[in-house]
Amino acid sequence: MDFVKLGEDVDKDNYLIADFYIETDDILKNAGELAKESSNGTWTPLKTAKGYTSNLSAFVFYAKELYEIEGNKAAYIKVAYPIELFEDNSVPQVLSDIAGNILGMKIIPKARLFDIEIPQRYIKTFKGPKFGIEGVRKYMRTDKTRRPHVGTIVKPKVGLNPEDTATISYESWYGGCDFVKDDENLTNQRFCPFEDRVIKVLDALDRAESETGEKKLYAPNITGVDMTERAQFVKDHGGACIMVDILVAGFSKVQEIRDQGFDMIIHGHRAMHAAITRYERHGISMPVLSLLSRLSGIDQMHIGTVVGKMEGELTEVLKNKEKIVSDLFGMNPCFPVNSGGLHPGHIPEIVQFMGDDTIIQAGGGIHGHPDGTIKGATAMRQAVDAVMEGVSLQEYAKTHKELKKALEKWQ
């Protein structure tokens, strides 16, 4: 078994290609160990290996030394994994291979999986988003206007009871939001039991829809130990959307929910991603997690904002976007979600780099409006309208007092 074959012509129809940044004292030797450990080998030759198991060897086919760092050499390497290594339709199994033991090997103190390329044959085993951008737009009846959706996260993120959560949700929708969601750490705590909350917020949604004549969407956070039952509960009570903390719950659960065919839009929050993605010399990049989220069936996916409160450079956010919207052998694209420290003043910039197919969410940027939630939601929607009409926010604010007040507070 040869785990290093530099310059080998890799058949991209039959291999998954993984790009790594590594730091190690011997690039080729240890890159080979990485390929071995992540496929059919281990630290020592095996008496149990059979002739036929060698077909499942991964191999390094490209290595480029970059620079010296902390007594090691840094390098980019490319590893080819035969697709027979992978179980059909299983994001968790892919991760156990290409980002499993190898990120903890002593001989490679730093290793970062920064990109993957997956062959069509394997992509086709995944269902991907059921709704995607077009499905969500059709449901929300914005498939003609094509404007960005406005969303909110009910705040304070924890502590409110179901009645107040429903009231704030109603006000958000009434003021102009399309979408209301729970926050990542609100699930089924005693102060706001899941079932009671879902019933009350969906009642508020019905009221908001009939009063505004617009479609509205609520994403209750079903993350927890009985996610299937929670999804069923939402479905039984007329809900059209659920939210999952993808990384906390795990891709297997996300895929299970997707495959169970609830026929509801799945909103993907990426809470905890920074523990995996943030350190640029180790871990897994957010674009890789974005792609895997798409494969697992997420319809609306958090990808960062550039502006706002959360870390994330423009190049990374655009890469995340590319992974979830670009052509992928016919798989539906996810609706990108920009969220985290946003207010109406950010909307022109976000639309400029994201385009109109985006869900722009504000929690504090709506519920912190000087005149409260309804006016806060109205100000967000006015900012979207201004951008769609090609008018500057300052100009639009002259005749839209909610927007004016928001800009006075935050810009």
Taking CB under 6 A as the criterion, the residue among 37, 97, 178, 184 binding ligand RUB is 184
Q: Give the interface size with ligand RUB as a residue count (CB under 6 A).
A: 17
Looking at 40-182, list the stretches that DSSP marks H as alpha helix, in order from N- to C-terminal side.
91-98, 120-123, 132-140, 162-175
Q: Which is nearer to ligand RUB, 36 or 149 (CB)?
A: 149
Interhelix angle 251-259/91-98, nearest 10 degrees: 160
Q: Which is nearer to ligand RUB, 185 or 252 (CB)?
A: 185
**Which token pair is 360?**
């722009």
- Mark residues 149-168: x for contact with ligand RUB by CB under 6 A, - for none: ----x-x-------------
Taking CB under 6 A as the criterion, the residue among 309, 313, 326, 394 binding ligand RUB is 309
Shortest spacing between CB 23 and ligand RUB, in angstroms: 27
Q: Which is nearer to ligand RUB, 95 or 317 (CB)?
A: 317
Residue from 269, 273, 319, 346 carrying the catalytic annotation: 269
Chain length of the chain: 411
What is the full DSSP assignment across 274-341? HHHHSSTTSEE-HHHHHHHHHHHT-SEEE---SSSSS---HHHHHHHHHHHHS--TTPPPPEEEE-SS
**Which token pair is 121?**
């044959």
**Which token pair is 128?**
């991907």
Instruction: Clarify whether 269 is annotated catalytic.
Output: yes
Q: Which is nearer to ligand RUB, 78 or 323 (CB)?
A: 323
Instruction: Clarify whether 155 is annotated catalytic.
Output: yes
- Mark residues 334-373: x for contact with ligand RUB by CB under 6 A, - for none: -----xxxx-------------------xxxx--------
How far is residue 211 from each of residues 136, 142, 204, 206, 215, measured CA to CA in Å? 21, 18, 11, 9, 11
Q: Which is nearer to ligand RUB, 78 or 302 (CB)?
A: 302
Give yes or no for residue 185 binding ligand RUB (CB under 6 A): no
User: 306 and 353 in contact (C-beta within 8 Å)?
Assistant: yes
How far is residue 355 from each of residues 36, 140, 153, 318, 350, measured CA to CA in Å? 43, 18, 22, 11, 8
* CB-based closest residue to ligand RUB: 363
- Which residues in the 259-288 window bind ligand RUB by CB under 6 A? 270
Q: Which parts of this chain interact with ligand RUB (CB under 6 A)?
A: 153, 155, 183-184, 270, 302, 304, 309-310, 339-342, 362-365
Catalytic residues: 155, 269
